[in-house]
Structure 1
Amino acid sequence: MSVGKTQDGRFYVQYRVQYRNSPKREYFGKGTEAKRAARERDAEIKLMKTRNEDVRESHIYLDELAKAYIEHEKVKGRDRKFLIEVRNRLNKSFLPALNHVPVHKLKARDFDKLALEYKDLSNSSFNRYITYLNVIFNFGVEFEHIEKNPMTNWRKRVMKREKPRDLEITIDDVRAIMAHAAPHVQKAIKLILSTGCRPGKSELLRIKYSDVDFDAKRVRIRGSKTARSDRYVPLRDEFLAEIRGWQDAAESDYIVEFEGKQLNGFKKGFNAAVRRSGIGKKVVPYHLRHFFASSLLANKADIKAVASLMGHAGPDMLFKVYYHLIGDSEKEAVEKLPTL
């Protein structure tokens, strides 16, 4: 056990805890006060040793909570690319800004460091990075590592309104892409436009024929976050009939397949179809999910129903991103009030 100092000037105390293989480190930040806090904690640990007491860990720090979260997501089979991005955020900014005190002692001024660091990012990137951190804290609360999320109120205040997502592509664009797409890409496009599922392995590429309930006329979309986020999306009769046709000729259990195997992605094939279509637009698979949401909202679909179909916990995200479409329906509702 001892007081140490990192290369970037942060003081820490390192000691061993029973049942833990590697030494435990507690960080206290930079400066005179941080050095004093580290020495006080070191003295406390030495006193425990003198009394032959087990050294007690202080409250959990972000690095430990994040490690528990990432391990949990690995077990769930979370996309490796996502976990790498979260780790990068942790190492580059979250831990340097927030690992100097236990989670329960974090204050708004600590999170403000991140806001300053991210101030030049686009609104969508800013919100995405802040959300990564929020998810880690929510995990901590759910699994009783911490009592409450320390950034809840701060996050509500700083989240930025994203640029309105208009219909980046039209139905004619989609038809042109479809006309130049390979069969497995066509299936992917139709599934996204019919269900609003997330492209990629998190949702779309996990859909099996066994997830389709032909009697109830719906498909099960397996949640990308927790088992509780599984949802069921209604399907039209004509699309159900098309899926039956696919199933008759299927070589695997997965609806979107290639040569009888589940796909890890279809971006290359999709990009080729976009290029050959000649629409002259930079389109990615996620635009199809936006098309699904925008089309429903522009046609006055219920905002809560759309949020449920897309797998959101509530309508907050849709209000932030598609408010320009939702606003029209609100105006229409107000105009229906009786005249006095």
Structure 2
Amino acid sequence: MYIKKIIIAIALIGLVVAAFFAHYVYSVMFKPNTNFNNQTAYIYVPTGATYQDVREQLKPLLKDIGDFDALAEQKQYTTNIKAGKFGIEKGMNNNAIINSIRSNNIPITVAFNNQERIDKLAGRIATQIEADSLSLLTAFNDSLFLNTNQFTKATQLGMFIPNSYEFFWNTSAEQFRDRMLTEYNRFWNANREAQAKAIGLSKNEVMTLASIVHEESKQASEQPRIAGVYLNRLKVGMPLQADPTLKFAAYQMPEYKDTIIKRVLNKHKLIVSPYNTYLYTGLPPGPIAMPDISAIDAVLHAEKHGYYYFAADPERLGYHKFAKNLTAHNANARAYQNYLNKQGIR
């Protein structure tokens, strides 16, 4: 009888221990442990982060960080941190959270357009991925990379085709740059290369002209006509006389730093710069800004016509009037100059 009681007592103790252990396992592994109201919370784990770095981000999101620590140690997550953007769903348990931040790196959409300088592009991208602007700029300006891929400091902006792309947040500067080269080569397919050859321009020259077209007009419907004007001028050796190139040249000078040129004046036409298309014939050394795809394709599919001139249309702002001779152009230009004078734009 005495032995029987001992056996029963041991069994009861075992049941209590088992119950306690089961409760502990449930609490640590399977009990919901989130502490936020949104459906999803995100953490961003930098490259080289420690468990303590991750823990600091998780702490305000979890009800019991201690239970999470215990399971993270058990599952060896504390010594196997993965970089990236990770999501935690409301009501997740610790086991699901660890599985998520260990293997479910979430892709993000990186978008850019209309950056007029390579440093501004670096700054724009740095707000979207882990790489900072300095590392991006260093990767962009790498002379070996530029030389190998037939770019110069003047033409490098043309490598970046404005669009939306999918990346992991923890993408490095070099990975981003190399991906952009891949996208550039994909963009310049056999069809586009044939079109460039047909109009007598290299890929870099197309990008340069497209940047001028895009700065002249954001209206995709008239960009092919503007491109046709510039191609007509190039064919006969006329200067492009593109006002956006004068602004670009001026902005490289200290006296125009942090200013906005609202009206191109005769003094701007005297700026000595290879980007001054009033002084020098042909295309400038490289893009003056990042052209939209619409402007690139406008150059490749330029309208064939007899126009050699165009001026802004004061009756339809954002659009232009086109002319085949200087007399008609001068009349169009005077109309726009009169409009600027009435608006007090000097």
Q: TM-score, normalised by structure 1?
A: 0.25
Structure with more relative contact order (C-alpha pairs < 8 Å, separation 6 or more): 2
Q: TM-score, normalised by structure 2?
A: 0.25
